[in-house]
Amino acid sequence: MNENLQLPADFHLKERRDTLSGKTLLTIRHISGLTLKVLPFPGFTRKFAALTVPCGAIHTRFKLGENTIAVPAGTAHFLEHCVFSRDEEGGLSGRLSSLGASANAYTTYDHTLYYFATATSFTEALQVWLDALITPRLDEQRVEMERPIILAELDQYLDDPDTRCTQLMMENLYAAHPVREDIGGTAASVQAIRAEDLVALWSAWYQPAALTLTLAGDIELNPLLEDLARRLALPGASAPHLLPEPLFPEEQRWPLSSQQYQQMDVAAPLFLTGIKNTAMPANMKNGMERALYQRTARLVLDTLLSAVSPLYDQLYHEGLLNDSFSYHLADDTSFSFIACGGESERPAEAAEKLQAGLIASCRKGLDTTIFEAQKRAAAGDIVRMLDSVEQAGLAQARSNLLGLDLFDYPAI
């Protein structure tokens, strides 16, 4: 891919080869701060593109220079809708679909990600996609078109047991941090969002210095870089920008309350246990340190709670868990928690025995045989992922949040 690569002015290239897989990763940076991560897949038909935006639901207050900016809960999700979803002319989703591209976007607590993959018309699809991301329509008319769609989406979530269970857990884990708010906001906060809120968020967080563009596939880079050079040469695009500084309220150490119940008409009762991570080093900002911490925590969870663990086996055979059981770690510089649960005919008993089992397992120490097996499985997953254009591209797009390359993970 890069044999005949001609870098336009103001771009800098760094090439890295993974000794384990033989794969190559190109890191191309522009003077504006925009970073490209390119995973070449010579001979592959599928091509993938993703834009990583380090702005999510928790970024409702931030400092930009001397100014403090506050936006209603759900603004990041609302912005994603305005950029990505359909309108009467088809919207970005419809236009990409007409070109044969499958596209998606999502907003989490700490970031927003836009991505698409296609086997045809990649260059044209990329142009349409970049146009929508770099020059979105954020006027009041667009906002009013999108508002009822988001309100309807929130109404649907109110009737979804899994979503309600998760939201109740978050509201009881956290007293002040905005992570306790639904990613989509509330009906009241969505009603309060105005075009100027979306513009304020987009102007602060969707600037080149904050963004990373990830590409994977057999892609001709020269015309793509020339197009980016033209876009970044527009007035103000290459000028140095202040990056926003997120602002968060002081959060208490312990959960707000220990339990909560909600009566709903469901096919099967369910429970969710949340564990607020109060041991997380508050000053751990380095991306490699955070990745090591997160990967370690997930391996511990795999050892304690996967289908091969003694605790899962015990609770399963007691009829307290079924195949719906799942667990995950959510971790950022300002919050960290573990959530685990699923359907159970005896949810209170399942939650109590799960908590007691986790405490006992941690006091006893990890089963080293299971831990080593989970570690080998995780390493194998990385190797297999590098054979897929879309999986590798998506994993690199998420790694950008920590400032890491995919090739860092085997060492971790």
| Domains present along the chain, CATH in parentheses | 11-246 (3.30.830.10), 270-366 (3.30.830.10)
Helix (H, G, I), strand (E, B) or coil at 408: helix
Q: Tens place of pLDDT for every residue, the chain, 412 residues?
A: 556 788 888 899 999 999 888 899 999 999 989 999 999 999 999 999 999 999 999 999 999 989 999 999 999 999 999 988 655 455 787 888 888 999 999 999 999 999 999 999 999 999 999 988 888 889 999 899 999 999 999 999 988 999 999 999 999 999 999 999 999 999 999 999 999 999 999 999 999 999 999 999 999 999 999 999 988 886 555 455 688 999 999 999 999 999 999 999 888 999 999 999 887 655 666 889 899 999 999 999 999 999 999 999 999 999 999 999 999 999 998 999 999 999 999 999 999 999 999 999 989 999 999 999 999 999 889 889 999 999 999 999 999 999 999 999 888 8
User: In whole angstroms, what is the distance from residue 70 CA to residue 86 CA?
Assistant: 28
User: In whole angstroms, what is the distance from residue 89 CA to residue 86 CA?
Assistant: 7
Give the DSSP H or E segment for 31. none
The answer to whether 328 and 162 have CB atoms below 8 angstroms apart is: no
Cite the DSSP H helix spans in 273-336: 287-305, 310-317
Output the pLDDT for position 278: 80
Output the pLDDT for position 283: 60
| Residues near 239 by beta carbon (within 8 Å), at least 6 away in sequence | 32
Q: Which residue type, as a one-letter code, is found at position 344? A: S
Structure pTM?
A: 0.93
User: In whole angstroms, what is the distance from residue 121 CA to residue 46 CA?
Assistant: 11
Output the pLDDT for position 3: 62
- 251 Ramachandran zone, left/alpha/beta (phi>0; psi -120 to 50): beta
Closest-CA residue to 27 (of 405, 412, 408): 405
